[in-house]
Amino acid sequence: MAGGEPGKPNPEEFVYGEEDFVLQPAGWGDPDSAPSRFDRMLLAGWSDRMERGVFRYRLGPLPTRVLPGAVRLVAQLNEQRSAERRPPQPVRSLRDPFDPGAFNFTRLRPAELLFRLRRTGGPGPPPDPLLVAINASPLERGHVLLLPSPARRLPQLLTAPALRGALEAALLSAHPGFRVGFNGLGGGASVNHLHLHGLYLDRPLPLEEAPAEPLGPRLGLLRAGPAPAFLFFAAGPAALEPVSRAVCRAAEHLGAAGLACNVLATRGEPPAGPGTGGGRGLRVLLWARRPLFGPKAGEPFAVALCELAGLLPLPTEPLYRDITEAQALSAIRQHLLPKPELLHLGGELARLLEN
């Protein structure tokens, strides 16, 4: 199965080259107008598993509303995920080792596997193959796990090869809302086995085009949305490898400082914003945060990459109906760094990435 272990079935391969990267995805006016080969294969396999009952619950259209306010947070009611998902694993530190006795992705059922991504040709050496599997407790249509060599049993610490493979997956989609992301230990990761997420979000987010304050040649500070993030930008396929290395160097620096992280990659404008020259590419956001080990009493919702980006999957109807922007922002921002500490960290990262 995962990683080609003996006695396990191997999923179908999705072999791609640079010619399969979609540099100009569909517009938000009709995001499903021209799905790519990747989109067709992923969504067909995902829908097939939904019809076959492989998921923990049947995901239909989710009630969704934009909270009144300047930030325009998107609230979504997903009661089944809260009630039926596998309980998150206990995490004790940012450096917890992989635990073979706990649930991990070598235990996925064959029906949960969709395909394996493998690139041939340039630019640069190909990333490690990524296994694409359903997330059995989905947030949205097409919610998948991107698994770098599960048989290696790596803990949930982001690596440059894993991130680069995920960024290439983002470029394989023609949908403007296909995003990939990572939750670190202490930052909302529920399984301590290296994985990233991919999912289709059917609406634009402010962080796709808001201008960032430059901190250095390859780093900006993006204040749009509910949580400030460090911004990296890949203008095209050739930039994916250096951006992946830079993001992971920054994430390692956060870990050494006792901070957790989350990462999101989305199609977006250059760091200076729209109309400033240069075309759209991939924006990669890195959030630094106080680590949280276990649930926090009184917290209305857990805070991971979706919440930091402005999408709030909420567990109960009363919360979905009544929550205000001020309440949601308070719940998110209690995990963040004070402004002076964030700016000091930004200076450290800028100097680190200049070397």
* Burial per residue of 72-109, b for 16 or more beta-carbon CB atoms within 10 angstroms, e otherwise: ebbbbbbbbbbeebeeebebeebebeeeeeeebbbebe
Quickly count: other Cβ atoms within 10 Å of residue 273's Cβ. 13
Q: Is 63 helix (H, G, I), strand (E, B) or coil?
A: coil
Rounded CA-CA distance 55/195 in Å is: 18
Cα dihedral 271→272→277→281 (10° resolution):
20
State whether the Cα torsion 156-159-161-167 is positive or negative. positive
Q: Is 162 strand, coil or helix?
A: helix
DSSP lists the bridge partners of residue 199 as 179
Angle separating helix axes 240-256 and 160-172, nearest 10 degrees: 130
Query: Pick from 237, 170, 130, 168: which is nearest to 25 by CA?
Result: 170
CA–CA separation, 115 vs 46, rounded Å?
11
Q: Tokens 């926090």 appear where?
A: 296
The Cα 37–Cα 14 span in angstroms is 9
Residue whose structure tokens are 């272990």? 5
* Alpha-helix residue ranges (DSSP H) falling in 103-153: none
Greatest Cα-to-Cα distance within the chain, rounded to the nearest angstrom: 55
Residues annotated as part of the active site: 195
d(CA 35, CA 58): 23
